[in-house]
C-alpha cells in the first residue's frame, strides 16, 4: 500500500492533538473542581459564621446585657448579628454572614428564655413577683411562734423552730421561717408553702444550711396550689425540701423551687422544678408531661437569671420581588 509523503507525520500530529485535547479537558475538570471545592469550603465557612453569630446572640440575650448587635469573624467570613427583646422573655436573633466568595447565609430566629432546672445560686432561681408578694404578705408580720395571721384576703400560717405537723388540713399560705425545720406528716395544703425570705424584696444571699428553712415530708404531703399564688406549690429558694428516712408520699400541684430538693418515695409533681443543687427525685415520683414540651412557669414568678433558650425557632425569610430578581438574574461564572 502506497502512502502519500508526510503521512506518518500527519498521523502523529493527529494523536498528539488528541492527547492534548484530552489533557486540556482534564485540566479544565481540575480547575472546575478546585473552584467548586473552594466555594464549598467557603460556603460552609459562612454557615459556621452564622452559627457563631447565633451563639453570640443567645449569650448576649441570656446575660441580659444591652448588647444588641455585633460582628464577628472566623478567619474567612464575617458574620453580623442583631438581637431584639420582644418582651415576655421572647428574643429575636438575626444573623447573617458573607464569605470572601460572596456566598452567604442568613437566619432569623426567635426564642423564649426559660429557667433551667439548675441555677448557680439562690438568687438566680425564680422568685415570687414582688407585686404579688406585696398583695399576699400579711400587714403584720411581727407574729409569734406559730399561728394564723391574715391579710385581707389570704390566710397565712407561719411556722418556726422545729415542729412536727401531723394529720392536718391547711388552707392558704404556709410560711416557713428562717432556721425552721418543719416536718409534715399526713398534711394537705390548699395553697402554697413558701419561705419567709421568698416574700421579701431583699436578695437571698448565700445559702446557709444552718438557717435554711427546711420542709421535711414524713408520711404524706399534698400541696394543691391556690389562686393567690397560681401555679406555685413550694417556694423555698433559700431552703430545703426533702423526705425523711421513712417512705413518704407527695403530691405537689404547681412549680417547686428550692435550693435543695431530695424526694424519695412515691407521688407526683405537676409543675416545673428549679434548684441550685441537682434535684434528687425517686423514680417513684412521676412528673406527668415533663419533657414532652416546654411547660409554662407560673405567672406569679419572676424567672430569675438562670435562663436558657427553651427553643429556638428559625423563621423562613420572605423573598421580596427585588431579591427574586437578583436571584434569577444571577449569572454563574
Partner 1 sequence: MKRRSAGFTLAEVLLAGTICAVALVAVTSAMSSVTTSKAELADQPVQAARLAQDITVLAETLPRTPSGTTGATSGSAVTALDSLHNAVFSPPIRSDRTADSSLSGWKQAVTVEIFKLDNLNTPTTESVSTALSAQAPRLYRLSVTIWHGSQKLETFRSWCRP
User: SS3 of 172, please?
Assistant: strand
Least distance between partner 1 and beta carbon 118 (Å): 9
C-alpha dist (Å) from residue 271 to 84, 139, 295: 29, 30, 8
Within 10 Å of residue 311's Cβ, how many Cβ atoms?
11
Least distance between partner 1 and beta carbon 107 (Å): 15
The CA distance from 47 to 184, in Å, is 56
Q: Is residue 81 a contact partner of residue 54, using CB atoms and an 8 Å limit?
A: yes
Least distance between partner 1 and beta carbon 279 (Å): 17
Residue placing its CB nearer to partner 1 in the complex, 165 or 306: 306
Residue placing its CB nearer to partner 1 in the complex, 11 or 326: 11
Least distance between partner 1 and beta carbon 314 (Å): 17
Least distance between partner 1 and beta carbon 59 (Å): 5
Residue placing its CB nearer to partner 1 in the complex, 16 or 86: 16
Letter string b/e over residues 210-219, b meaning 16 or more CB atoms within 10 A of that residue's CB: eebbbbbbbb
Least distance between partner 1 and beta carbon 119 (Å): 9
Q: Which residues bind partner 1 (CB under 8 A)?
A: 1-3, 5-9, 11-13, 16, 19-20, 23, 26-27, 30, 33-34, 36-38, 40-41, 44-45, 48, 51-52, 55-56, 58-60, 62-63, 65, 67, 70-76, 116, 120, 124, 305-308
How does strand 69-73 pair with strand 104-115?
unpaired
Q: Is residue 306 a contact partner of residue 116, using CB atoms and an 8 Å limit?
A: yes
Q: Is residue 67 a contact partner of residue 53, using CB atoms and an 8 Å limit?
A: no
Least distance between partner 1 and beta carbon 200 (Å): 24
Residue placing its CB nearer to partner 1 in the complex, 98 or 116: 116
Residue placing its CB nearer to partner 1 in the complex, 63 or 227: 63
Residue placing its CB nearer to partner 1 in the complex, 15 or 314: 15
C-alpha dist (Å) from residue 14 to 1, 7, 10, 20: 21, 11, 6, 10
Task: Kindly state the DSSP code that residue 264 receives in the 8-state scheme.
Answer: -
Within 10 Å of residue 190's Cβ, how many Cβ atoms?
14
Residue placing its CB nearer to partner 1 in the complex, 38 or 166: 38
Amino acid at each position: 500500500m502506497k502512502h502519500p509523503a508526510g503521512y506518518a507525520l500527519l498521523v502523529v500530529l493527529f494523536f498528539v492533538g488528541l492527547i492534548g485535547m484530552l489533557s486540556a479537558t482534564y485540566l479544565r475538570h481540575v480547575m472546575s473542581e478546585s473552584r467548586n471545592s473552594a466555594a464549598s469550603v467557603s460556603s460552609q465557612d459562612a454557615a459556621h459564621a452564622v452559627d457563631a453569630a447565633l451563639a453570640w446572640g443567645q449569650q448576649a440575650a441570656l446575660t441580659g446585657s444591652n448588647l444588641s448587635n455585633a460582628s464577628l469573624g472566623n478567619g474567612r467570613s464575617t458574620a453580623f448579628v442583631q438581637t431584639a427583646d420582644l418582651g415576655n422573655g421572647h428574643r429575636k436573633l438575626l444573623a447573617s454572614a458573607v464569605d470572601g466568595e460572596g456566598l452567604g447565609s442568613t437566619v432569623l430566629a426567635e426564642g423564649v428564655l426559660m429557667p433551667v432546672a439548675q441555677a448557680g445560686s439562690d438568687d438566680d432561681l425564680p422568685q415570687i413577683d414582688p407585686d404579688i408578694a406585696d398583695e399576699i404578705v400579711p400587714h403584720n408580720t411581727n407574729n409569734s411562734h406559730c399561728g394564723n395571721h391574715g391579710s385581707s384576703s389570704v390566710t397565712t400560717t407561719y411556722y418556726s423552730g422545729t415542729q412536727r405537723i401531723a394529720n392536718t388540713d391547711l388552707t392558704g399560705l404556709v410560711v416557713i421561717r428562717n432556721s425552721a425545720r418543719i416536718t409534715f406528716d399526713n398534711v394537705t395544703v390548699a395553697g402554697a408553702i413558701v419561705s419567709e425570705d421568698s416574700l421579701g424584696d431583699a436578695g437571698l444571699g448565700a445559702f446557709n444550711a444552718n438557717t435554711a428553712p427546711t420542709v421535711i415530708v414524713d408520711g404524706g404531703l399534698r400541696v394543691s396550689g391556690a389562686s393567690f399564688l397560681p401555679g406555685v406549690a413550694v417556694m423555698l429558694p433559700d431552703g430545703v425540701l426533702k423526705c425523711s428516712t421513712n417512705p413518704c408520699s407527695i403530691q405537689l400541684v404547681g412549680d417547686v423551687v428550692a435550693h435543695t430538693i431530695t424526694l424519695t418515695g412515691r407521688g407526683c409533681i405537676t409543675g416545673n422544678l428549679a434548684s441550685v443543687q441537682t434535684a434528687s427525685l425517686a423514680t417513684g415520683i412521676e412528673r406527668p408531661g415533663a419533657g414532652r414540651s416546654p411547660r409554662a412557669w407560673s405567672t406569679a414568678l419572676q424567672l430569675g437569671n438562670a435562663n436558657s433558650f427553651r427553643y429556638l425557632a428559625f423563621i423562613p425569610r420572605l423573598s421580596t420581588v427585588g431579591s427574586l430578581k437578583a436571584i434569577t438574574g444571577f449569572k454563574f461564572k
